[in-house]
Structure 1
Amino acid sequence: VPDAAAVDNVTVVDVEEGVEVVVSDPTVVDNITVLDVDEDVEVVAADATVVDNITVLDVDEDVDVVVSDVVVVEDVAVDD
Structure 2
Amino acid sequence: DPPVVDNITVPGVDEDVDVVVSDAVVIENVAVDDVEEDVNVVASDPRVVDNITVLDVDEDVDVVVSGVVVVDDVEEDVNI
TM-score, structure 2 normalization: 0.87
Cα deviation for residue 70 of structure 1 reads 0.7
Cα deviation for residue 9 of structure 1 reads 0.6
Moved over 4 A (4+): none
Structure 2 unaligned residues grouped into runs of 5+: none
Task: Count how many residue pairs are aligned between Structure 1 and Structure 2.
Answer: 77
The amino acid across from 1:8 in the alignment is D
Alignment-derived partner of residue 41 in structure 1: 39
Distance 2:19 2:55 in 1: 14
Alignment-derived partner of residue 17 in structure 1: 15
Identity of aligned residues (%): 68
Distance 2:35 2:63 in 1: 14
The amino acid across from 1:65 in the alignment is V
CA RMSD of aligned residues (A): 1.2
Structure 1 unaligned residues grouped into runs of 5+: none
Alignment-derived partner of residue 52 in structure 1: 50
- Greater CA drift, 26-35 or 70-79: 70-79
Cα deviation for residue 24 of structure 1 reads 1.4
TM-score, structure 1 normalization: 0.87
Distance 1:24 1:54 in 2: 17
Distance 1:47 1:38 in 2: 28
Distance 1:32 1:13 in 2: 11
2:6 aligned to which of 1, 8, 15 = 8
Secondary structure, counterpart of 1:15 in structure 2: coil
Distance 2:41 2:50 in 1: 13
